[in-house]
Chains A and B, each alone.
Chain A
Amino acid sequence: MNKRKEAIAGWVFLSPALFVFVTLIFFPVIASILLSFTKWNFLSGFDGIKWVGFDNFVKLFKRDRDFKTALRNTIIYAVTTVPVSIVFALIAAYMLNTKVYLKKFLRMCFFIPYISSMVALYAVCKFLFGLKGPINQIVQMFGGEAMKWLTSSSLCRIPIISVVVYAGIGFSLIVYMAALQNVPSELYEAAKIDGANELSAFFKITLPLISPTTFYLLVVRMIAAFKIFTSANILKYGSNSSGLVNIVYDEAFGNYAFGYASSVAWVLVGLILAVTLVQMWGQKKWVHY
């Protein structure tokens, strides 16, 4: 087969994917970058687009209180949910790997929330954390007072963090279980002969050997946490618990401020890029390949 024919075949096979990619990803990326430097109310049509340079970003960081709350919330969600769910998943995976009976059943218990609809989970969460809900019933059983989990500005992030941790553990658990299976068992035997106990074997052998997996999970789960949206939109009690995507949605489809909303979206992209770069740089220090 000649080279030309080969090249044509290559592009023909790629073309459906490329077509969707260019129209729905590549072109929107460019458009969205450009829009973030404009002021545009969608209802005013294409003539209404006005180039404003960095004004949107200046306004966001200087004057927009909702944005700042959302940015803070987004960071809070990421730094709370990611470590908690990763540590829990690691312990569970370590136990499930060799140290328990009913391994498949238990794995299923932890995994089902991950494939469940987030809308449905938040719907359940809304009532579990309700004023008369089961969580408050338990609190009262232990002599505490019923708390306003959903409406109080100091507590309203707790239900969201719980759901995100709850729904995310299954994913990390499965990835960790696969990684743990690749740790050669001879290493443990050698450590045992050298007199190491279980705990020190875990910290000295297991943890370093699976550090690439931990790194992968940190990046992936951090990015997922930045994109939290469903929560605030379903629980809907003011903007106290909103994340950045909620601001994008509200500005774009509530106010039709497409330019402004785009700049919020690009703050989110910036955050994702920054975290990924920092983690890639940091991994040299603690990831053992």
Chain B
Amino acid sequence: MKTRKILFKTFNTLWVGVFGLIFLTPLVWMISSSLKHGSEIFAVPFTFFGDKILWANYEEVWFNKNVPFWRLYWNSIKIAAVGTFFQLIISSMAGYSLAKINFKGKDLVFIIILITMMIPAQALIIPRYVLFDKLELYGTHWALILPSMFNVTSIFLLRQFYAGLPTDLMEAARIDGANHYGIWWKVMLPLTKTPMVTVVVLAFINCWNEYLNPLIFITKYDLYTVAMGIQYFLYSTDEVNWMMAAASSAIVPIVVLFLFTQKYFVESIATSGVKG
């Protein structure tokens, strides 16, 4: 009976494993192509490495004269970091308010936010474009950072977590003379580390992968993000190996970030899970 079970499990691992590897194939192909000479990419039969490992493709992408990836990286990291920071603070405050403070009108606010959640950001880009144009934010990174500051999912996640924290803690702090500001910052906020990491990882990945907003609001090469960089290489050259070096440069750091934060990431999706 036991050997049968092991055999069965091994058999299952094999066929599910085949599918798992198929899922990695496009990414493996991408990395392989990014290290080859252009003429080797579509050669039959396929080999993972070409005659030589051409790091020169990455050199071209990272030090391109119009859109060097080191600058795109800097831009994307800056936008994602600032946007994520504000999203975290704003969501944490709102979550605390909605979970732990009693006041009139809070339910109404909650319902209105819920209803507008159904409306996709894609339907709002036109008024936002007009607004940013009038405020002279068009063509700046603020046009990308501002929309990422408000995220219903993050507010939800933190609100749920705050709601689960015992009120006794607050009472004790209150007797010591603390007000809500002190209670939030000193007592409650430090207890929400787990959901905060989740919010940070989700927000960072969303900002990093964002495509529509930079496409609309960013015009200058100097301000391009990583996603725009891939598009630049797609439109401006025929060198597939360069394009694949650009695509690899965009995906690899996010995968590494994921591997380190897997636990938080998976949990958050399992409980609340939303992307963009």
Contact = CB atoms under 8 A, between A and B. Distances in A.
Report if A and B associate in a common complex. Answer: yes
B27 interface: yes
Interface residues of A, number: 92
B62 interface: no
Interface stretch (B52-60, B126-134, B192-200): B126-134
A137 B46 CA distance: 10
Interface in B154-187: 155, 174, 179-181, 184
B26 A268 contact: no
A25 B113 CA distance: 9
A248 B129 CA distance: 13
A90 B244 CA distance: 32
Q: Chain A: interface secondary structure? A: helix
A1 B179 contact: yes
A101 B14 CA distance: 9
A279 to B, nearest CB: 13
A252 B23 contact: no
Contacts of A139: none
A184 to B, nearest CB: 18
A245 B181 CA distance: 42
Interface stretch (A62-70, A147-155, A171-179, A188-196): A171-179
Interface string A181-223: 0000000000000000000000000000000000000001001
Q: Chain B: interface secondary structure? A: helix
A53 interface: no
Interface string B10-28: 1011001101110110110
Contacts of B215: 233, 249
Nearest to A27: B127
Interface string A250-279: 001100001001100110110011001000
Please indicate which of the listed interface residues A24, A29, A262 has the most CB atoms of chain B within 10 Å of its own CB. A24
B129 A252 contact: yes
Given A13-B93, A117-B226, A245 B122 contact: yes
Contact of A127 (B116, B125, B240, B274): B240
B116 A25 contact: yes
Please indicate which of the listed interface residues A109, A124, A273 has the most CB atoms of chain B within 10 Å of its own CB. A124
A72 interface: no
Nearest to B268: A174
Contact of B146 (A24, A133, A166): A24
A24 B147 contact: yes
Nearest to B112: A26
B103 A7 contact: yes
A120 interface: yes
Contacts of B231: 119, 234
B269 interface: yes
Contacts of A14: 93-94, 97-98, 106, 109
Contacts of A107: 266
B96 to A, nearest CB: 6
B101 A115 contact: no
A20 B149 contact: yes
Contacts of B94: 13-14, 16-18
Nearest to B230: A119
Nearest to B44: A137
Given A266-B123, A269-B123, A116 B180 contact: no
A230 interface: yes
Please indicate which of the listed interface residues A127, A175, A227, A249 has the most CB atoms of chain B within 10 Å of its own CB. A127
A223 B180 CA distance: 38
A84 interface: no
A124 to B, nearest CB: 5
Contact of B123 (A234, A253, A268): A268
A1 to B, nearest CB: 7
Interface string B72-112: 00000000000000000111011011100111101001001
Nearest 10 CB-CB pairings of A with B: A178-B270, A13-B97, A109-B20, A28-B127, A10-B103, A17-B94, A120-B247, A31-B127, A7-B103, A265-B123
Interface of A: 1, 3, 5-7, 9-11, 13-14, 16-18, 20-21, 23-29, 31-32, 35, 42, 92, 95-96, 99-102, 105-121, 123-128, 130, 132-134, 137, 166, 169, 171, 174-175, 177-178, 220, 223-224, 226-227, 229-230, 233-234, 245, 248-249, 252-253, 258, 261-262, 265-266, 268-269, 272-273, 276
Interface of B: 8-10, 12-13, 16-17, 19-21, 23-24, 26-27, 29-30, 33, 41-42, 44, 46, 89-91, 93-94, 96-98, 101-104, 106, 109, 112-113, 116, 118-120, 122-131, 146-147, 149-150, 155, 174, 179-181, 184, 205, 208-209, 211-212, 215-216, 226-227, 230-231, 234, 240, 243-244, 246-248, 250-251, 254-255, 258-259, 262, 265-266, 269-271, 273-275
